[in-house]
Amino acid sequence: MDEDEFVVFRESLRSFVGREVLPHADSIAASGSVPADVFGVAGENGYLGICAPEEYGGSGISDIAHSLVVAEELAEAGQTGLALAFAAHGSVAVPYLANHGSHTLRERWLPPMVTGTVLAAFAGDGAEGIRLSSAGTGVRIDGTLESVVSATRSGLLFVPVGIDEGAARVVAIPRETAGVRSIAIKDSLAVPGADMGTIELDGVFVESEAVQAVSTATLASLRADDQLALAHIAVAGARAALATTLNYVRERSVFSRPLADFQNTRYALAEISAELLVTSAYLRTCAVDRAENRLSVHQAEAARLRCADLFALASDQGLQLHGGYGYMREYSIAAAFADARYLRLHGGGTRAAKEALAANLGL
């Protein structure tokens, strides 16, 4: 897809968000959940299965750049939680299944994942305590997964296990399997729409075909895609926070002068703009490397680290410039502030990214 087609794709997506998502913004913020038909309409418009092969109803595009645009547009519209759900499904789960799943798994799951009948979750972090044991023709799974995106919505869960033992596998667990229990995280301060929750696995049995052995390289690519998606969501959130703050300081007067006229305001927002320009340029480099299959997990982790910090900076500065209004939930900057803080913790957090980058330096 060339640059002009990207523009058309982004415009159509923006129309979808305005038509199908934003009318539900208040209910999403209040309930923390998204109406089910949003995913169905997204599937009908081709936004969920971009990376799925055409024979399964997808667009047959191996690059995840277009799925990242979907997550970006949702985040820029203030729907960070929904962006996380779409990214986990379209930028991680669908490409994984399309590229590494067995023929049986692809036949069973890709068509409903493309249409939005089934939403997938990917528990890429926090699976260290999951235990596998042989059981008849398959395996038994026990353990608890914390803070899983789409935990209460997903129909299919992908769980990497056995990483520390050097025999990594990814287990595909249907939601209706006996022993799977999803517990919603209610009244969360941040990311409404992510349908965040805890998943308890108590004596869950799956057939052996649902357990895929994966290489270290595959695990690294999964991690890279996940971190890259988080980076795109964060930088889109930073752009939205800056735009919101610019609108506010132009309209708000202090001592009979627009807040935008004060040097401190102008310089603070100019610095964020500069950070956005530089960070966005690095993300474009990462996108090119991902398209050409040379993106390293450390590049993606560096992107996620910088973008998450930038979102936190932009929302923090925006909240400060809003003054007392910034602490009122009906103002979008307050939601951005909470979302930014959460994104610094999600998916292993910026701490995990720093640990991995330090280890790459031999430290």
CATH number assigned to the domain covering 216-360 = 1.20.140.10
CATH 2.40.110.10 range(s) for the chain read: 121-213
Neighbouring-strand partners of residue 156: 120, 174
Q: What are the structure tokens assigned to 339, written together? A: 């979302």
CA 320 to chain centre: 27
pLDDT at 163: 56
CATH number assigned to the domain covering 121-213 = 2.40.110.10
Decide: helix, strand or coil at residue 287. helix
pLDDT at 248: 95
pLDDT at 19: 95
pTM for the predicted model, two decimal places? 0.94
pLDDT at 128: 66
Name residues of the chain where pLDDT drops below 70. Answer: 1-2, 125-128, 163-167
CATH 1.20.140.10 range(s) for the chain read: 216-360
pLDDT at 275: 97
CATH number assigned to the domain covering 3-119 = 1.10.540.10
Decide: helix, strand or coil at residue 256. coil
Please answer whether residues 225 and 338 qualify as being in contact, where contact means their C-beta atoms are separated by less than 8 angstroms: no
d(CA 82, CA 80) in angstroms, rounded, equals 6
